């Protein structure tokens, strides 16, 4: 089939920024609890940091290398970069406007104040001065800029201050400029005692304190200006895994350089003089388009902790306790439960604890002879990893496939790999050139009649904290064909040999892409024959051109296609003659939508798959991914009723994609308000 024309696709980078707009809308929404609005504002900043570190950095590298070939959407790197900067500047301006004009006054009205330097009374000023001399000044290192003190190396995303000075120091020097770097150990927000603040929760920014007292660092000189700044750097790691003999050692050597990659963005306070801004841009080899002047702290991410510090439940989402499936009791033997039938877990509405229990019981069960698991993201403190270490120490055969190149989790994964090896586990790093992104765990247990396999397959990571923040599905099964497939995938990852045909699972980079294309085409054939045909797919991103081409053809054949895509979607829905029958929506709410679900009507014999893979080039061709069918009819019905239908009905947190790539919040038009995530909380979780 022919690939889509450039005008039939949406640019990836611009699609990512459209998603950030939808996240920011959660901070704008007055129906969102106030402290959660602040948290969403911080999430946007965190997302934008990563966007610049990776996506913008990639565009700048292409421009630097002279690459002018357009991406599938028809934009060259230079054109994409220009549009990205335009949208990013608009987004950041809107973000700070919301922060200053809406959120700060609303928080202040509820006794949560961020007290500006110009607002300090005498008592507050005295307390802050004492705090500066006691806690800050001893760890600050001012660096005067002169031939003996060149501009310092500035860490990625660190807080710094550019200081304009007048006068001469003790040595008669007068460079006129200095830099003060704020150590990362220092808090960016300091809480004042209630009797000093004059309100229940009073905070001051570290930047305000340093601005007020920076003159103490330059005795006898006059401070003409003090401006906070922050530089964002290219954070991709440059490791040639085909040439490297020991990937772990190579990564350990490369990680420190991430802090000093090429600069891609400069953030400064809006009061920064043009002279100083131009000076800083020159130091970092950046253009004016890379400069973001903001009214407020240059790092809003550091405000993420404030909602946790403030004990005001009425200003936060109501707490909940995830439920357990009825078949699983607190003292349940997980192997007995799974042997009786498949178990489906829907996180965060249902607890992640059964997954932890599965591995922990395997570690302590004398009948278990082997455990195998993939690790992509698991956190720095993981019960699962500690259980695997105990299992290895007790003499069980433990094999862990650790993905060292999981972006921004490399250090944690390196540390776990070392600890697992020390405990006697077999640790492998997957396949050269392919990230291991599949979420699989396999337990082999000696039972009456021989060895039996038990497996967990998921759409999300083995990470207990994110299991309370992300929506995901997990399947626990003893199905012989599925567990045999899981075993074969582990054999591929740890050994050598040709890929055998799997019986139930689809796998990247081998069968997932062609089978998804074939399933779409089967629906198109059914539609052309006058049969009912439908596709519903839920994922984080849709970018792969051949899948998009197949969806366009299916739409033209009459297939009804509903796509629930959280983030970037390159497909254009609702284009006459091309995608009339395709609707794309994005749901952004309290939890990060993370599950991947693929539904095909299949002439009434409904096929439902769960997967670790989005419909992107990297997931189909450059990663090890798993996609598994839900075979139990009751569980299949559950996935449809919980993972798909509510999101198609949602009229509170759903956004509908327009043919031009923009999104409009779905209106209710008199319908009763309906929120998918709230419904699922009411169905499963205990308030």
pLDDT for 241:
45
For residues 56 and 54, give the distance between their C-alpha atoms in angstroms, rounded to a whole number.
Answer: 6
First to last CA, the chain: 51
Query: In the beta sheet, which residues pair with residue 227?
Result: 162
CA separation (Å) from 282 to 287, 294, 426? 8, 19, 49
Which stretches within 235-299 are classed as H helix?
Answer: 247-254, 274-283
CA separation (Å) from 685 to 22, 313, 347, 357, 634? 26, 18, 10, 19, 20
Strands 201-205, 470-477: pairing is: unpaired
Are the beta carbons of 568 and 541 closer than 8 angstroms? yes
Tokens 């990297």 correspond to what residue? 618
How is residue 653 written in tokens?
A: 């947190």
For residues 231 and 442, give the distance between their C-alpha atoms in angstroms, rounded to a whole number.
Answer: 44
Regions of the chain with pLDDT less than 50: 237-245, 247-255, 258
| Widest distance between CA atoms in the chain | 90
- Please tell me if the domain spanning 6-242+251-315 has the same topology as the one spanning 334-503: no
Could you give the angle at the alpha carbon of 603 between the alpha carbons of 4 and 480, nearest 5°? 95
3-state helix, strand, coil in the chain (%, to 5): 40, 25, 35
Could you give the angle at the alpha carbon of 259 between the alpha carbons of 188 and 17, nearest 5°? 75
For residues 10 and 568, give the distance between their C-alpha atoms in angstroms, rounded to a whole number.
Answer: 9
Identify the CA nearest to 572 among candidates 488, 663, 652.
663
For residues 188 and 207, give the distance between their C-alpha atoms in angstroms, rounded to a whole number.
Answer: 7
Nearest-10 Cα torsion for 118, 103, 302, 216? 0
pLDDT for 67:
93
Number of H helices, E strands in the chain: 22, 27
Are the beta carbons of 490 and 370 closer than 8 angstroms? no
Tokens 């190396």 correspond to what residue? 153
**Up-side HSE of residue 548: CA atoms within 13 Å toward CB?**
25
CATH class, range 6-242+251-315: alpha beta
Query: Is residue 39 within a helix (H) or strand (E), and if so which, with residue range?
Result: helix 34-50
Q: Residue 118 carries which DSSP code?
A: G
pLDDT for 327:
86
Q: Per CATH, the architecture of 334-503 is what?
A: 2-Layer Sandwich (3.30)
Phi, psi (degrees; rounded to nearest 5) at 658: -100, 160
For residues 656 and 662, give the distance between their C-alpha atoms in angstroms, rounded to a whole number.
Answer: 8
How is residue 63 written in tokens?
A: 């421009």
How is residue 372 written in tokens?
A: 């195998």
Are the beta carbons of 635 and 629 closer than 8 angstroms? no
pLDDT for 185:
85
Q: Residue 286 carries which DSSP code?
A: -
Query: Is residue 395 within a helix (H) or strand (E), and if so which, with residue range?
Result: none
pLDDT for 497:
66
Sequence-separated (6 or more) residues with CB below 8 Å from residue 417: 248, 400, 402, 404, 427, 429
How is residue 666 written in tokens?
A: 């779905």
- The domain limits of the chain are 6-242+251-315, 334-503, 507-684
Q: Say if residue 348 is preceded by a cis peptide, omega within 30 of 0.
A: yes
Q: What is the third-level CATH fold of 507-684?
A: Endonuclease; Chain A (3.30.870)
Which stretches within 449-607 are classed as H helix?
Answer: 480-494, 512-528, 545-557
Identify the CA nearest to 444 among candidates 354, 353, 373, 355.
373
Q: Residue 323 carries which DSSP code?
A: B
Catalytic residues: 437
User: Can you say whether residue 634 is alpha, beta or left, with left for phi > 0 and alpha for psi between -120 and 50 degrees?
Assistant: alpha
Burial per residue of 598-626, b for 16 or more beta-carbon CB atoms within 10 angstroms, e otherwise: bbbbbeeeeebbbbbbbbbbbbbeebbbb
**Up-side HSE of residue 532: CA atoms within 13 Å toward CB?**
6
How is residue 129 written in tokens?
A: 């001065």
Identify the CA nearest to 653 among candidates 90, 97, 32.
32
> C-alpha 229: how far from its chain's center?
25
Are the beta carbons of 392 and 425 closer than 8 angstroms? yes
């Amino acid at each position: 089939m022919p690939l889509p024309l450039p005008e039939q696709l949406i640019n990836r980078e611009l699609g990512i920024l459209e998603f950030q707009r939808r996240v920011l809308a959660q901070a704008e929404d007055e129906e969102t609890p106030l402290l959660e609005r602040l948290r969403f504002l911080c999430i946007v900043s965190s997302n934008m940091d990563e966007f610049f570190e990776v996506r913008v950095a990639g565009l700048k590298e292409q421009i630097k290398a002279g690459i002018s070939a357009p991406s599938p959407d028809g934009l060259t790197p230079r054109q994409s970069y220009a549009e990205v900067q335009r949208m990013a500047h608009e987004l950041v301006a809107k973000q700070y406007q919301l922060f200053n004009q809406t959120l700060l006054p609303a928080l202040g009205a509820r006794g949560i104040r961020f007290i500006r330097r110009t607002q300090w009374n005498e008592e507050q000023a005295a307390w802050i001065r004492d705090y500066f001399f006691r806690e800050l000044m001893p760890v600050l290192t001012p660096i005067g800029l002169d031939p003996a003190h060149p501009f310092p190396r500035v860490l990625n995303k660190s807080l710094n201050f550019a200081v304009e000075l007048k006068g001469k120091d003790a040595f008669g020097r007068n460079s006129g400029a200095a830099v003060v770097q704020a150590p990362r150990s220092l808090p960016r927000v300091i809480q004042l005692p209630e009797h000093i603040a004059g309100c229940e929760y009073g905070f001051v920014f570290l930047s305000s304190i340093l601005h007020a007292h920076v003159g103490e660092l330059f005795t006898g000189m006059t401070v003409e200006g003090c401006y906070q700044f922050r530089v964002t750097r290219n954070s991709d790691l440059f490791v040639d895994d085909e040439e490297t003999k020991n990937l772990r050692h190579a990564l350990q050597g490369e990680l420190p350089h991430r802090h000093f990659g090429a600069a891609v963005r400069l953030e400064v306070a809006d009061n920064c003089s043009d002279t100083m801004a131009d000076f800083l841009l020159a130091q970092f080899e950046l253009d004016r388009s890379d400069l973001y002047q903001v009214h407020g702290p240059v790092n809003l991410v550091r405000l993420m902790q404030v909602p946790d510090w403030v004990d005001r439940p009425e200003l936060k989402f109501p707490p909940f306790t995830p439920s357990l499936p009825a078949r699983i009791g607190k003292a349940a033997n997980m192997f007995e439960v799974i042997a009786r039938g498949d178990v489906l877990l829907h996180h965060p509405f249902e607890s992640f604890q059964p997954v932890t229990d599965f591995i922990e019981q395997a570690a302590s069960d004398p009948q278990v002879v082997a455990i195998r698991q993939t690790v992509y993201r698991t956190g720095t403190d993981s019960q699962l990893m500690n259980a695997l270490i105990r299992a290895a120490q007790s003499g069980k055969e433990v094999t862990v496939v650790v993905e060292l190149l999981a972006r921004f989790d490399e250090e944690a994964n390196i540390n776990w790999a070392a600890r697992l090896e020390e405990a006697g586990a077999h640790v492998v790093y997957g396949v050269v050139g392919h990230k291991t992104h599949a979420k699989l765990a396999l337990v082999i247990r000696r039972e009456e009649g021989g060895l039996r396999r038990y497996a967990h397959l998921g759409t999300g990571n083995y990470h207990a904290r994110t299991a309370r923040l992300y929506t995901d599905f997990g399947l626990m099964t003893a199905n012989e064909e599925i567990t045999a497939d899981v075993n074969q995938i582990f054999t591929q990852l740890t050994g050598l040999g040709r890929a055998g045909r799997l019986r139930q699972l689809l796998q990247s980079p081998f069968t997932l892409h062609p089978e998804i294309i074939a399933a779409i085409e089967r629906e198109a054939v059914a539609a052309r024959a006058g049969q009912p045909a439908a596709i519903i797919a839920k994922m984080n991103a849709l970018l792969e051109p051949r899948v998009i081409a197949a969806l366009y053809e299916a739409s033209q054949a009459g297939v009804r296609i509903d796509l629930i895509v959280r983030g970037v979607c390159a497909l254009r829905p609702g284009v006459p003659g091309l995608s009339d029958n395709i609707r794309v929506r994005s749901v952004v709410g309290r939890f990060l939508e993370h599950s991947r679900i693929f539904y095909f009507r299949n002439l009434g014999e409904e096929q439902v798959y769960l997967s670790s893979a989005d419909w992107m080039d990297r997931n189909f061709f450059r990663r090890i991914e798993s996609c598994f069918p839900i075979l139990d009819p009751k569980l299949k019905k559950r996935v449809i009723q919980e993972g798909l239908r509510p999101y198609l009905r949602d009229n509170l947190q759903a956004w509908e994609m327009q043919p031009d790539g923009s999104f409009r919040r779905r209106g209710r038009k008199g319908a009763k308000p309906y929120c998918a995530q709230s419904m699922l909380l009411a169905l499963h979780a205990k308030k």
